[in-house]
Amino acid sequence: MARIYEDLTVVIRRSKVALFVLTALIILVLVFYWKIQVLDHQKYWKMAEANRLRELPLTAPRGLIFDRQKVILADNMPSFKVSLVREAVNNIEDTIDNLALLLHLNREELKKRIDRYRFMPAHEPIIIMDNLKLEDISLIEARKDDFPEIKLEVEPRRYYPFGPTGAHLLGYLQEVSVDEIRTQPEKRWRGGEMIGKSGLEKQYNDNLTGREGKILEMVDSLGRPRAEISRTEPQPGRNLELTIDFDLQKRAEELLQGREGAIVAIDPRSGECLVWASSPSYDPNRFISRFSADEWLALVNDPGKPLENRVIRGLYSPGSTFKLVMALAALHEGIITENSTFFCSGTIELYNKEFNCWFKPGHGSLNLPEAIRNSCNIYFYQLGRRLPIDTIARYARLMGLGQKTGIDLPGEKEGLVPSTDWKKKFLRQAWFPGETISVAIGQGPLLVTPLQLASLTALVANRGVRVRPHLVKEQEKSDGRERVGLPEAAMEVVIEGMWRSVNRQGTGQGAYQPGFEVCGKTGSTQLISRESAERLIQRGLEVRKTHSWFTGFAPRDNPEIVVTVLVEFGGLGGQTAAPIAGQIFKAYREKYVRQANLQEN
């Protein structure tokens, strides 16, 4: 009987392969275990700790903002907020449903808010409601064990004690946007954090923002806090001391009440801004509450433009205030002297076109100081006929027009000084001599801001020395005085005319203050032609055709204050803007000059 031998070659080969695979798997498991236990020890230890420890930020109080006499203009007050910590959430949809019901919130709005910050780490809290009322706080405290994913905290909330007063100067806070968080990671902003979005709050946001603290707390398996492990207290931001005088600021805003316009006052010796008023205003406290998109649109679309900072963003033709530039340019160029006269009959024909003086009967024969006193258009038309537009533009820029002043606020506009190159570049047309005649009295394509005009006036008050306007006291240490290339003798001639304008029954007499030697210049910016105005009058319609300007300084020698006033649709400068400026001069004199005299006695 033959023996049958079974061939086990295939079985043995497969057994070896299986053994090799098994050995490899065991080695991989051991390596992975070693990696977890040794190489990634710190990583998994931290993850384990995170299951029982939670780190929460503590908001730092913003620095306070004071006026020059320590009146608090921007303060902080305690406020309660509730935040969601997503790492403690099991089912986000259920959580949204429950929180919307608990806090009486719109579910879709709450969901959008949470979705907005999904890209952020889950352990960072998302503010879902702030400025809580007492009943909200009580409700959350009573249910806190049922909602371990929410955190009730007290935070310092910005508060502006005087509401709209100084709003355009101070600015406002708003919630940091998602784009800002993503594009500026170095700022390390958190979702829901409030940052400066305009005014000084924006300009000095990094200074005003303190260093946040943190709490390390122990939580149970459901994420409920059980004990505080450690606490690092937040560090407040730096305070700002402004150059603004609150009493003068308040008075200026009272004088602008119900009007659209701006008032700015500067100390010409240092460049310190004493008054910064823009009307209409708004209450920056409204922005702290994270108001709705509809409320924001209502503000933006308000026809009065309450958010517009007219002091540095309002662009207006300077009207007859520009005659100061024309006078200095003509004197320095040798076109005229102090005693050069021109005859004003009320009208003049230049380049085959008739130009009118604002005073129809005419002023007769005038020299330069008298022309400034009476703001005679015919006199300055004659200067415009003799000075090329590029020469006028050069002097205007030398005196600070057509460029930013360098004020420590965001959003300043440059204005516009026309020239032959400007017209060729932007309008692709040649400049015509007849256009220079309009520019000579501050009309045509010539635009300035109230702050630029105040800076120009400060330069005249300083007899040719320029100072940079600023709002924060510490800025003055780095600001130097710069002399421009205009002789003091020419300045004195112009100042004589400005003094007569106020003190010798000129167009600026509304600003007169006994014993204070106010020097000034009025201006009226024509918005429609005289012919159009007369047609409206014939139809029985109200004519609001001019913006009202006044700019001046006091006292004449050793000036202490420059005041520039603009009232939109205010009519003649001497009728509206000059009396308002006079009230600012009066308030300053009563507070500072008389106080100094009492101290001396």
In this structure, are residues 469 and 456 in contact, taking their beta carbons and an 8 Å threshold? Answer: no
How far is it, in rounded angstroms, from Cα 506 to Cα 493? Answer: 16
Residue 215 CA, chain-centre distance (Å), reads 35
Which residue is catalytic, options 83, 320, 375, 501? 320
What is the longest distance spanned by two Cα atoms in the chain? 154
φ, ψ of residue 218 to 5 degrees: the values are -90, 135
Position of tokens 């009492």? 598
In this structure, are residues 436 and 429 in contact, taking their beta carbons and an 8 Å threshold? Answer: no
Q: Tell me if residue 560 falls in helix, strand or coil.
A: coil
Tell me whether the omega of the peptide bond preceding residue 280 falls within 30 degrees of 0, making it cis. yes
State the helix-helix crossing angle for 134-142 and 92-103, rounded to 10 degrees: 140
φ, ψ of residue 74 to 5 degrees: the values are -135, 120
Name residue 379's amino acid.
Y
Q: Which two tokens stand for residue 270?
A: 């240092």
How far is it, in rounded angstroms, from Cα 168 to Cα 279? Answer: 9
Q: Which two tokens stand for residue 90?
A: 């099991």
**Alpha helices for 40-131 (secondary structure H):** 41-50, 92-103, 107-116
First to last CA, the chain: 147
Beta pairing, strands 240-241 & 65-66: parallel
3-class DSSP string for 419-448: CHHHHHHHCCCCCCHHHHHHHCCCCCCCEE
Instruction: Return the closest-CA partner of residue 465 out of 478, 474, 453, 456.
Output: 456
Name residue 429's amino acid.
Q
Name residue 370's amino acid.
E
How far is it, in rounded angstroms, from Cα 291 to Cα 394? Answer: 47
CB atoms within 10 A of CB 393: 22
Count of CA atoms in the C-beta half-sphere (13 A) of 305: 10
In this structure, are residues 158 and 141 in contact, taking their beta carbons and an 8 Å threshold? Answer: no
In this structure, are residues 507 and 236 in contact, taking their beta carbons and an 8 Å threshold? Answer: no
Name residue 454's amino acid.
A
In the annotation, is 478 catalytic?
Answer: no
How far is it, in rounded angstroms, from Cα 83 to Cα 106? Answer: 16
3-class DSSP string for 527-592: CCCHHHHHHHHHCCCCCCCEEEEEEEEECCCCCCEEEEEEECCCCCCCCCHHHHHHHHHHHHHHHH
How far is it, in rounded angstroms, from Cα 293 to Cα 305? Answer: 17
Q: What are the residues whose beta carbons fall under 8 Å from the beta carbon of 153, sequence distance 6 or more?
A: 56, 59, 80, 81, 82, 83
How far is it, in rounded angstroms, from Cα 440 to Cα 342? Answer: 15
Stretch (H or E) spanning 584:
helix 577-588
Residues carrying an active site annotation: 320
